[in-house]
Amino acid sequence: MRLEGWHLIIIIVLALVLFAAPRLPGMARSLGQSMRIFKSEVREMKKDGTAEAKDGSEPVEGKVVNHPRTDSTDNRPADGTDVPPSNRA
């Protein structure tokens, strides 16, 4: 006797019904909730995409501003980064 694909599917379904019967309603409920969330997110993404296309606004350009370089004699790096002073004496 040779096992085919549908034989394995029947065996898996029977095993689920026998051993996981108490958990099946909770699993189905969480699967339904996940599908609802997924559908609402996809719908929201589609709605956001059409609003951007209708808006016609261009992206805003920004400029990064660094701290000015300082010439100091203490142990701070002069590369424009903001480093707190050392607490050691």
pTM for the whole structure: 0.40
Q: What pLDDT was estimated at residue 76? A: 52
Q: How many whole angstroms separate alpha carbon 28 and alpha carbon 25?
A: 5
76 burial type by CB count under 10 A (0-12 exposed, 13-18 middle, 19+ buried): middle
Average pLDDT over residues 14-27: 88
- Evaluate whether 35 touches 27 at the Cβ level (below 8 Å): no
Average pLDDT over residues 58-70: 69
Longest pairwise C-alpha distance within the chain: 88
Note the helical H segments in 2-89: 5-19, 24-55
Query: Is residue 54's pLDDT more than 70?
Result: no
DSSP letter for 36, please: H
**pLDDT tens track for 32-51:** 999 999 999 999 999 887 75
Residue ranges of the domains in the chain? 24-52
